[in-house]
């Protein structure tokens, strides 16, 4: 059966109705899931198995049958571990039907059908009794319901219900306990992801400063957690203001509450500074004694950094305080962790909240609208003074005292830069001063009346649009420029004047794992997952490039970066596809995991802004990526196996095509034994 799905095309700006297979959403869910990453997380798997084996032994020692409830079974891996450890029977709950179906097949393939029952329901819908899903309550509770924030996937309500309705009192639980840790820091870099800094503009009349409005300065920011690979943040990017503080614990073997709560930890700052950011992570103890522990601690807080486990399904959290506050070394403060049933947030108090009555403050929510328009990387991009200076220099070369400018980007400050540099009139399309007119229309719908009957002499863009996911989605600027032909005056300047698509072949340190075959996992055959992921990746969109912030995922280049396609914004979008074929020669040894693609915007002939590589790779090929943008990664299917030998292919052949009618960029990369000298 086919269904029609409406979507806004991020490149062309048009609304499209696409015919999709009825299982399209399922395939997308599988393709973009972290199942492969979890199955490759050996530390997680080993610790779970050790904890399960110990729990089964404790139940058996009491002379009881070991009846297991596994909530969120996924592939059924933990249930199979339980049966292997001696459990008498296991009820495996999985709400996502395609995964439940896969779990049934995996359980059957491994010979456990007689001892594992897969139940395709949400755990809150599971019934107990002679005619129910389970004949009686379980005495061992196994779960893997956690996200980077621990409770963001609804772990607390699920545990609360399970203890009330599905498991025996004082049951064994794996994991047994979770512990949340926090560390207070000062970090200009991370704070720039949350607050707009004053922006300095050098003009002919001296320095002008663009300052954020008071409501933005007062705003507590976005309520959502910022989850990142904290191990990739340099220690020089933050100043530690506190020790690592254990904030609170959850005992999963007892009744769990999902009610809102706060947990107070008094501490003395290690240094004076400005409290801005709380770094947070958790660990889980698989046994009551806490001897089997799986931790998400970053390297500086890890008991053994040499055994640090890379994982992408669980990372670390960055929380922003509602406002930065000065702290003095040795002067006692209280860090307060608040949570409801799904979210955690932090506040800093001079005295105990219990004494001043602010035990359960309302979760901070953005009230300035900026945090709804700009995500964290975009805040960092706007606060990048070097980038601003580059745009200012470029604007100086195209602006004249009588320039009439139209700025087309989402939430851009280019209009203010142009104003301070002396443009006569600025129209800001898409979303102060007497010379800046904000036009609340889609730019392609502008009329002459909207522009006051004037012709545009300078069309500006960063380009940045909130709907963009992949680098070339910002080519929407080109479509806007095309629709603006009638409004452009003679000799009108377009900035950026052009863009180019670039690619480099890389070997990832770890990111390859998310697309690596599962095969056998801890002795269990889970090849079915490989088949599911492969089928999902065969669907449109999933099988092509994926957006990833590569500053968080180290890699080194095996080739030199190569320009693939160019786009001339001085001309309208062409009617015919733009195609490029060629090869990329591999110059360094390593495993070719994939190609990274990004856009470079040529503001003027002498000024280029890159959304990808910021400087040439060093001798070893280490890459420095733009931290404000996501790059596109095209994984090579033939090198997903990490056990493949080094060496091999000498070049990567490519066919890349831009389709003007849809705005899509399609691509195909093929490993070849001999390089093609042609491009």
Q: Work out the widest C-alpha separation in the chain, in whole angstroms.
A: 90
> Within 10 Å of residue 662's Cβ, how many Cβ atoms?
14
Number of H helices, E strands in the chain: 15, 36
Q: Residues with Cβ < 8 Å from 214, sequence gap 6 or more?
A: none
Question: Do residues 245 and 181 touch, judged by C-beta distance below 8 A?
Answer: yes
Q: Sign of the C-alpha dihedral, residues 434, 435, 441, 447?
A: positive
- Rg of the chain's alpha carbons, rounded to an integer? 28
Peptide bond into 175 cis (omega under 30): yes
144 is catalytic: yes
Strand-pairing partners, residue 596, are 504, 633
Query: How far does Cα 345 stand from its chain's mean position?
Result: 19
Per the CB < 8 A criterion, the answer to whether 512 and 635 are in contact is yes
> What is the pairing mode between strands 199-203 and 206-210?
antiparallel
* C-alpha span between 450 and 56 (Å, rounded): 73
Are 337 and 327 in contact by the 8 Å Cβ rule? The answer is no
Give yes or no for a contact between 139 and 59, defined as CB atoms under 8 angstroms apart. yes
Neighbours of 231 (CB within 10 A): 17
Structural contact between residues 613 and 598, judged by C-beta atoms closer than 8 angstroms:
yes
Structure tokens at 627: 């931290």
Three-state SS at 234: coil
Helix axes 97-109, 527-537, angle to 10 degrees: 140
Say which of 29, 108, 153, 325 is annotated catalytic.
153
Q: How far is CA 286 from the centre of its chain?
A: 28
Angle, CA of 320, 323 and 326, to the nearest 5°: 105
Both tokens of 75, joined, read 């592939």
Residue with tokens 């004949």: 135
Q: Using CA atoms, how far apart are residues 417 and 631, in angstroms rounded to an integer?
A: 27
> Which one of the listed residues 94, 144, 172, 285 is annotated catalytic?
144
Neighbour order of strands in the sheet with 456-460: 436-439, 425-429, 404-408, 456-460, 488-495
> At which residue do the structure tokens 């004037």 appear?
454
For residues 129 and 123, give the distance between their C-alpha atoms in angstroms, rounded to a whole number.
15
How far is residue 615's CA from residue 617's CA, in Å, rounded to a whole number? 6
Question: Nearest-CA neighbor of 399 among 460, 455, 489, 448?
Answer: 460
Contact status, residue 671 vs residue 592, Cβ threshold 8 Å? yes
| C-alpha distances in Å from residue 644, one per residue of 308, 552, 554 | 23, 25, 20
153 is catalytic: yes
Map tokens 């509602």 to a residue: 322
Contacts of residue 315, defined as CB under 8 A and 6 or more positions apart, other chains included, come to: 148, 227, 228, 229, 230, 296
List residues with catalytic annotation: 144, 153
């Amino acid at each position: 059966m086919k269904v029609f799905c409406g979507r806004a095309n991020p490149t062309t700006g048009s609304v499209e109705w696409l015919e999709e297979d009825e299982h399209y959403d399922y395939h997308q869910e599988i393709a973009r899931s972290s199942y492969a990453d979890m199955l490759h997380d050996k530390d997680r798997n080993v610790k779970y198995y050790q904890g399960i084996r110990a729990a089964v032994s404790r139940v058996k020692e009491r002379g009881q049958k070991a009846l297991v409830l596994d909530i969120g079974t996924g592939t059924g891996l933990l249930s199979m571990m339980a049966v292997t450890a001696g459990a008498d029977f296991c009820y495996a709950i999985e709400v996502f039907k395609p995964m439940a179906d896969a779990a049934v097949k995996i359980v059957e393939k491994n010979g456990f059908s007689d001892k594992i029952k897969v139940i395709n329901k949400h755990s809150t819908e599971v019934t107990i009794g002679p005619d129910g899903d389970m004949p009686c309550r379980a005495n061992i509770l196994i779960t893997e319901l956690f996200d980077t924030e621990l409770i963001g996937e609804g772990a607390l309500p699920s545990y609360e219900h399970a203890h009330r309705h599905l498991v025996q009192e004082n049951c064994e639980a794996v994991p047994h306990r979770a512990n949340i840790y926090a560390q207070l820091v000062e970090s200009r870099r991370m704070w720039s992801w949350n607050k707009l800094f004053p922006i300095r503009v050098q003009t002919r009349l001296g320095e002008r400063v663009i300052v954020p409005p008071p409501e933005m300065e007062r705003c507590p920011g976005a309520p959502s957690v910022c989850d990142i690979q904290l191990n990739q943040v340099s220690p020089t990017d933050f100043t530690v203001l506190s020790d690592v503080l254990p904030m609170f614990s959850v005992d999963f073997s007892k009744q769990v509450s999902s009610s809102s709560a706060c947990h107070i930890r008094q501490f003395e700052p290690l240094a004076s500074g400005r409290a801005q950011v709380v770094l947070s992570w958790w660990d889980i103890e698989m046994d009551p004694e806490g001897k089997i522990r799986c931790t998400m601690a970053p390297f500086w807080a890890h008991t053994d950094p040499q055994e640090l486990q890379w994982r992408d399904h669980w990372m670390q959290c960055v929380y922003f305080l509602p406002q930065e506050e000065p702290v003095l070394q040795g002067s006692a403060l209280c860090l307060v962790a608040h949570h409801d049933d799904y979210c955690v947030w932090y506040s800093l108090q001079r005295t105990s909240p219990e004494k001043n009555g602010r035990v359960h403050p309302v979760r901070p929510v953005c009230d300035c609208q900026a945090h709804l328009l700009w995500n964290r990387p975009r805040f960092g991009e706007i606060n990048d003074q070097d980038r601003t200076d580059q745009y200012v220099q470029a604007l100086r070369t195209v602006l004249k005292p009588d320039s009439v400018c139209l700025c087309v980007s989402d939430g851009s400050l280019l209009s203010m830069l142009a104003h301070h540099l002396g443009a006569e009139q600025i129209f800001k399309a898409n979303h102060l001063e007497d010379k800046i007119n904000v036009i609340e229309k889609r730019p392609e719908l502008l009329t002459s009346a909207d522009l006051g009957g004037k012709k545009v002499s300078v069309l500006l863009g960063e380009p940045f649009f909130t709907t963009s996911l992949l680098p070339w989605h910002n080519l929407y600027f080109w479509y806007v420029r095309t629709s603006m032909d009638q409004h452009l005056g003679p000799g009108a300047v377009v900035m950026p004047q052009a863009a180019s698509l670039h690619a480099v072949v890389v070997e990832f340190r770890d990111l390859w794992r998310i697309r690596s075959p599962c095969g056998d996992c801890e002795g269990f055959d889970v090849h079915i997952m490989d088949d599911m992921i492969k089928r999902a990746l065969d669907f449109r969109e999933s099988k092509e490039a994926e957006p990833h912030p590569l500053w968080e995922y180290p890699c080194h280049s095996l080739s030199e970066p190569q320009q693939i396609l160019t786009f001339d914004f001085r001309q309208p979008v062409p009617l015919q596809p733009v195609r490029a074929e060629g090869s990329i020669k591999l110059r360094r040894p390593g495993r070719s995991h994939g190609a990274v693609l990004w856009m470079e915007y040529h503001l003027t002939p002498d000024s280029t802004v890159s959304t990808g590589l910021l400087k040439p790779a060093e001798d070893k090929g280490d890459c420095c990526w733009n931290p404000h943008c996501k790059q596109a990664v095209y994984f090579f299917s033939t090198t997903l196996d990490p056990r493949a030998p080094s060496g091999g292919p000498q070049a990567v052949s490519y066919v890349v095509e831009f389709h003007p009618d849809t705005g899509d960029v399609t691509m195909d990369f093929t490993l070849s034994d001999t390089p093609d000298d042609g491009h």
